[in-house]
């Protein structure tokens, strides 16, 4: 990755980002015209990489994009750009262990820091503030929202309860690998925890998209498929102990699930969504893979997000 003046890595001009932009435009027609502004901040000893997309005029609110366990914040830029064009500021952090974020020395690869980081970032953002999580990021945003009584809303493409053995096993690349991982977590965590595991080995990255060229990119990119993640991250994901056990939220929830998601089908997310007692909305997109870049799912996802944000704006205006 290219280095900035302070010797930190950058997406701008990198082979990884250049290839992704090219594929999104040539394969799906999603041209990325404005580069996010990159910055860094210290959080518990981590150097967190943060992308920001700012609107042309005064911001109507802040949308925080929360990536999953098979990507990083920069991948959500095409979606964030649509929101920034409608007047919202968009933030997309690389969560610890992923993307360009530099983890503190001897980090234990603890997933539990993810929702805490998102909550801290949201607490400092200009409101109204909404979280948007994709893949594992959906539940990360959900748990972060439970820590934020003043949050305005949560949007998710997936709600995956990875503490459920059946869901964890279904999310693995092969069911037998998920079962083996669960057994190692229980019987030999000392063996699993330090093990560096390539993401392409444990996650079905081909199911991220229906496009063969983008599938190859996901599997071979050094920040995604070729990235090494310690086994303890997956153990802490499965064994995560949330600050509260219930599924009540302090704000409205919108689930926009891809209709052709072969990685985590809609019914997997519905097992969580149906138990949420708070205000909620659900829409299954007409098609769309795990990362729903395909038409018309992409347009339905975009329009659903913008409609939800418009409702938040109206509520904020009425409260003044």
Look up the CATH number of the domain holding residue 235. Answer: 3.40.50.1820
Q: Confirm whether 61 is domain-assigned.
A: yes
Q: Are 4 and 27 in contact (CB under 8 A)?
A: no
Q: Confirm whether 99 is domain-assigned.
A: yes
Domain that holds residue 89: 15-313
Q: Confirm whether 318 is domain-assigned.
A: no
pLDDT tens for 25-44 read 999 999 998 899 999 999 99
Q: Confirm whether 4 is domain-assigned.
A: no
Q: Confirm whether 50 is domain-assigned.
A: yes
Q: What is the mean pLDDT of residues 181-191?
A: 89
Asked whether the predicted pLDDT for residue 112 surpasses 70, the reply is yes
- Number of folded domains in the chain? 1
Q: What is the mean pLDDT of residues 89-99?
A: 98
Rounded to the nearest integer, the mean pLDDT of the chain is: 94
pLDDT tens for 127-137 read 899 999 999 99
Q: Is the bond preceding residue 296 a cis peptide, omega within 30 degrees? A: yes
- Pairing outcome for strands 62-66 and 129-133: parallel
The whole model's pTM is what?
A: 0.95
Q: Confirm whether 3 is domain-assigned.
A: no
Task: Classify residue 269 as exposed, middle or buried by CB count within 10 Å of its CB (0-12, 13-18, 19+).
Answer: buried
Instruction: Quickly state the pLDDT bin for 296 (edges 50, 70, 90).
Output: very high
Q: Confirm whether 1 is domain-assigned.
A: no
Structure tokens given for 292? 């729903």
Q: Confirm whether 6 is domain-assigned.
A: no
Tell me what pLDDT residue 119 has. Answer: 98
């Amino acid at each position: 990755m290219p280095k900035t003046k302070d010797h930190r890595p950058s997406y701008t001009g990198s082979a990884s980002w250049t290839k992704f932009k090219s594929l999104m435009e040539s394969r799906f027609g999603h041209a990325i015209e404005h580069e996010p502004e990159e910055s860094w901040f210290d959080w518990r000893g981590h150097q967190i990489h943060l992308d920001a997309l700012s609107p042309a005029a005064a911001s109507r609110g802040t949308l925080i994009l929360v990536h999953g366990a098979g990507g990083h914040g920069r991948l959500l830029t095409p979606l964030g750009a649509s929101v920034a064009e409608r007047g919202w500021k968009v933030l997309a952090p690389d969560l610890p262990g992923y993307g360009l974020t530099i983890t503190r020395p001897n980090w234990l690869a603890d997933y539990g820091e993810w929702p805490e980081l998102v909550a801290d970032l949201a607490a400092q953002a200009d409101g109204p503030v909404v979280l948007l999580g994709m893949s594992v990021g959906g539940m990360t945003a959900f748990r972060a929202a439970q820590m934020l009584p003043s949050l305005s809303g949560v949007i998710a493409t997936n709600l995956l309860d990875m503490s459920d053995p059946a869901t964890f096993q279904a999310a693995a690349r092969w069911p037998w690998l998920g079962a083996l991982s669960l057994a190692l977590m229980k019987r030999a965590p000392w063996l699993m925890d330090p093990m560096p595991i390539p993401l392409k080995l444990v996650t079905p990255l081909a199911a991220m998209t229906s496009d063969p060229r983008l599938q190859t990119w996901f599997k071979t990119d050094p920040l995604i498929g070729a990235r090494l993640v310690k086994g303890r991250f997956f153990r802490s994901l499965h064994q995560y102990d949330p600050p509260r056990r219930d599924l009540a939220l302090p704000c409205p929830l919108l689930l926009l699930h891809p209709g052709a998601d072969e990685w985590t089908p809609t019914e997997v997310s519905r097992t969580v969504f149906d138990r949420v007692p708070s205000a909620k909305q659900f829409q299954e997109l007409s098609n769309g893979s795990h990362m729903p870049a395909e038409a018309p799912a992409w347009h339905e996802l975009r329009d659903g997000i913008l409609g939800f944000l418009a409702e938040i704006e109206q509520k904020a205006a009425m409260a003044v």
